[in-house]
Amino acid sequence: MLPTLSPELKQAQQLAGTAQVFAIIALVIIVTTIAFDGGVPIGVALFDDSLDWREKTNRIGLLLVALLPAILFYESVNRLRLALQHYDKGEFFSAAASTRVAQAGDYAIEAMVAIILVVPNLTIWITHGGGGFDMELESATIGMLAFACFVAAVGRILTAATQLKAENDAFV
């Protein structure tokens, strides 16, 4: 028998359900933009007879590099969606949910590192044949990176809290 939830927890459960719907909408939008931003140009590059294989490889490589942050953000949002599923079911002290929150933060950190370092440098190396170093470092990217770090930290704190609750429940 499940315990009766307080009004605050019921509201949090409903919020998790609503947020899960928005996460699904975001995932569909991300996939759609990846398909249009990457799939169409990749298809054009593959079937363009005026390009030799090196130029095709360069174009496709640049497109894939540019899509890397979106792919990582997709997985970050997906991990949060999976955590929200647990919260929607009233599983507020779920180890799986807290682990997924931490993973979402980790994927977001990886996406931000890709935006700041990986994409600019691989773009330079692919287009110029190697050499050089560049960073995309603006106040917005620093803020997003900090936010991603905080999400990862909160996920780890929730994991520790879940373990502590499990130990306390076992003791009582």
First to last CA, the chain: 18
Q: What's the rounded Cα separation, in Å, for the pair 86 and 40?
A: 36
Cβ contact 109:141 at 8 Å: no
DSSP letter (8 states) at residue 131? -
Residue 16: what pLDDT?
93
The radius of gyration computed from the CA coordinates of the chain, to the nearest angstrom, equals: 21
In a domain, 46, yes or no: yes
pTM: 0.86
* Cα→Cα distances 44→47, 51, 64, Å: 5, 10, 14
Q: How many domains does the chain have?
A: 1
pLDDT in tens, 76-108: 999 999 999 999 998 988 899 999 999 999 999
In a domain, 1, yes or no: no
pLDDT surpasses 50 at 146: yes
In a domain, 98, yes or no: yes
In a domain, 2, yes or no: no
Q: What's the rounded Cα separation, in Å, for the pair 36 and 93?
A: 39
List the domain range (segments joined by +) for residue 36: 7-171
